[in-house]
Amino acid sequence: MGIYKISEQFPKHEIYGLTSQMTRAAVSVASNIAEGYGRKSAKDKNQFYVVANGSLTELENQLLIAEGVGYLDKTLSTRAMNQCDTVHKMLYGLQKANNN
């Protein structure tokens, strides 16, 4: 389940808070991967992959907060965190391939 679908379940008063932060972090991950991929130098690519990884870590923290305040049940939280873990591994792979 994507972050947009997850955050649709949050209370409406969170639209400018946690909902907005989570969707921006998710978009940032994808955008930085795309921008890094489009760069020519290894250094530039890695910088964008590092930023994507940071945004992904931020998203994981926001998922924990959402679960902690009761906006997200444990099953969905675990599924989303597992997806984040997969993306972390993919980012690591991109960085490793870029440095070879």
pLDDT digits (tens, 9 = 90+) for 7-24: 999 999 999 999 999 999
Of 90, 67, 70, nearest in space to 79 by CA = 67
Q: What is the pLDDT of residue 12?
A: 95
pLDDT band of 94, cuts 50, 70, 90: very high
Full domain range(s) for residue 14 = 3-99
Q: What is the pLDDT of residue 100?
A: 74
Long-range (24+ apart) CB contacts under 8 A made by 92-98 are 94/33, 94/36, 94/37, 94/45, 94/49, 95/46, 95/49, 95/50, 98/42, 98/45, 98/46, 98/49
Q: How many domains does the chain have?
A: 1
Averaged pLDDT for residues 81-85: 97
Residue 32 maps to which CATH number? 1.20.1440.60
Of 86, 80, 84, 88, nearest in space to 9 by CA = 80
Residues 19-77 pLDDT 10s: 999 999 999 999 999 999 999 999 999 999 999 999 999 999 999 999 999 999 999 99
- This prediction has a pTM of 0.92
